[in-house]
Amino acid sequence: MDRKPLTLHRLRELHATGEKLTMLTCYDAVFAQVLDNAGVEMLLIGDSLGMVLQGHDSTLPTTLEEMAYHTRCVARGNRSAWIVADLPFGSYHESLEQGVRSAVALMQAGAHMIKLEGGGWTSPLVRALVERGIPVCGHLGLTPQSVHALGGWRVQGRDHEAAATLKRHAQELAQAGAAMIVLELVPAALAREITAELPIPTIGIGAGAGCSGQVLVLHDMLDITPGRKPRFVRNFMEGAPSIEAAVRSYVSEVKAGRFPDDQLHSR
């Protein structure tokens, strides 16, 4: 697929027109080329690689060095997609200075934007990064780096107080300069409300069709991941003649608003 490299300005234009944005996790050069050719707008080097590639039971063991390595791999295979890289657990928790250094390392490895989890305490870091020319994506709802504090892989924001906190944190991140926010395992109605109130796009995963775009773990949507997968995941390899065709189907279904199905968006 011959397209111009995606920029933050172009992503903002797509969001302004109401076009749904597409993102998939990606950890290597070969899949980066496949996803780019299939028209995926954003490639996420997620700290989920600790679970997907390394076999850990959480994202917590993933290191900054590993994130930088996989970011370099993805950058070498990519031509035009927008590359987002996760700041892993422990790489931005100690101080603003540590967070800036970690973000710089991922940008130097080839990222176009960094993603960090949590609201409230993260807003000063978001502001510091944006002031230094580093685009930021927030991440609210189920934040995997806080899985133990949250009591497991559960939908977040179900009660009034929790929903109000999520909405406040989303506004704070946007005001600090975040360019987009991932909403993970959030009730569809709440995600739709947050999306409508924000001037920036939201990218949902298990958060319903009302978000500005969608992201899935690549290995889940290709049905490579063994065992039970979340209910919001669809097997796009079923009936597809190739991986690239499956990814193109994902892009098409998101763009058309046919994926996800709000009735199946959470456990």
**Catalytic one of 131, 172, 184, 253:** 184
- In the three-class reduction of DSSP (H, G, I as helix; E, B as strand; rest coil), residue 137 is classed as strand
Bond into 260 cis (ω within 30): yes
The DSSP-derived string for 167-183 is HHHHHHHHHHT-SEEEE
| Location of structure tokens 């959470």 | 266
Residues annotated in the binding site for Mg(2+), as ranges? Answer: 47, 86, 117
Q: How many CA atoms lie within 13 A of 222 on its CB side?
A: 19
Q: In DSSP terms, which residues pair with 86 in a beta bridge?
A: 115
Long-range contacts formed by 196-200: CB under 8 A, 24+ apart: 197/167, 197/170, 197/171, 198/170, 198/171, 198/174, 199/174, 200/15, 200/174
Q: Compute how many other C-beta atoms are within 10 angstroms of the C-beta atom of residue 158.
A: 13
Q: Compute how many other C-beta atoms are within 10 angstroms of the C-beta atom of residue 227.
A: 4
Q: In DSSP terms, which residues pair with 181 in a beta bridge?
A: 138, 202
Distance between CA atoms of 213 and 51, rounded to whole angstroms?
Answer: 24
Distance between CA atoms of 212 and 24, rounded to whole angstroms?
Answer: 14
Active site residue 66: no
Residues listed for the chain: 267
What residues act catalytically? Answer: 184
